[in-house]
Amino acid sequence: MFFQSLSELENIIKNSGTAIIVMNENAKIDGETFDFNPFCKKFKNVQIVEPGQAKNTSGKPIDAITIDQIRETITKTAVKQTSDQFFFFKNAEKMQEQAQNAALKLFEEPKQNYHFVLFAKNPESLLKTIRSRANSYTLKIENHLEKAPEVEADILALSKRLLVATPDDIIDIAEELHKDREKALKVLEATIELAEKSFFKTKNEAFTKKIKGLIAAHQGVKNNGVVRLQIVANLV
């Protein structure tokens, strides 16, 4: 399902128990760049859950939504409410797998007056069980299928190579990305976007197999698997 304006997005959120909002952080809506924090202020009783709120044992922010954050959310939703309560998950694709599993029941059976909204650029990074429990809404963009992923030039170049790579080229790309996990994740995310757009434009079933392999590789790398092995094992 699609939306085109902020008013549509507000209505979707207010009328959803659990929803996935698919859009880039710098998306254009109503002619202006979408700004997450001011948008949140349109709602009363909003709590934001995002990467960086939790810290590791050294006191450094964790670039992920952790299981402890989900447990805290579950505790906060234990009380019955007579007015709407909103939980916005920013960069929801960065939710750790164990955190996603812990949130399944929360998202599947939201209590009355509770609303869970997952903002994600790449919803494919969320578990299938999460995606099956929520309606997904995508910002409708003119000529969306022709629009290149909004990433750095070197990431886009590698993504285009990976999309059409031969087995030997996949091995070369895996070696190139082996020591940079964050770059590998960006390349895989951009390649997933390219593969999906290519499928919708061509209806070539070969892209569906490619997409499955890319998603599996992304999930493996995200879960601290060996970058080279995850790319080669899932794409060759």
Cβ pair 194, 161 in contact under 8 A:
no
Q: Is the pTM of this model over 0.85?
A: no
- Mean pLDDT, rounded, of the chain: 92
Q: What six digits make up the tokens of 173? A: 């790309």
Q: What is the pLDDT of residues 3-19, one digit of tens each?
A: 989 999 999 999 999 99
142-167 mean pLDDT: 84
Q: Which domains does the chain have, with CATH numbers?
A: 2-141 (3.40.50.300), 145-235 (no CATH)
pLDDT for the residue 146? 63
Q: How many helices (H) and strands (E) does the chain have?
A: 10, 8
pLDDT for the residue 211? 92
What distance in Å separates the CA atoms of residue 230 and residue 193, rounded to the nearest whole number?
19
What three-state secondary structure class fits 185? Answer: helix
Q: For residues 18-53, b (16+ Cβ closer than 10 Å) or e, as one string?
A: bbbbbbeeeeebeeeebeeeebeeebeebeebbbeb
The span from the first CA to the last CA of the chain, in angstroms, equals: 33
Tabulate helix, strand, coil % of the chain (nearest 5). Answer: 50, 15, 35
DSSP 88: E
What distance in Å separates the CA atoms of residue 211 and residue 192, rounded to the nearest whole number?
6
Residue 29 has pLDDT above 80, yes or no: yes
Classify strands 32-33 and 28-29 as parallel, antiparallel or unpaired: antiparallel
Which residue do the tokens 């079933």 mark? 205
**What one-letter code names the amino acid at 140?**
K
**What one-letter code names the amino acid at 161?**
R
Specify the range with the lowest mean pLDDT, choosing from 67-71, 134-138, 143-147, 183-187: 143-147
Instruction: Write phi, then psi, for 74 (nearest 5 degrees).
Output: -60, -40
Cβ contacts of residue 34 below 8 Å, gap of 6+? 23, 25, 26, 27, 28
**CB-CB neighbours of 71 under 10 Å:** 13
Residue 201 has pLDDT above 90, yes or no: no
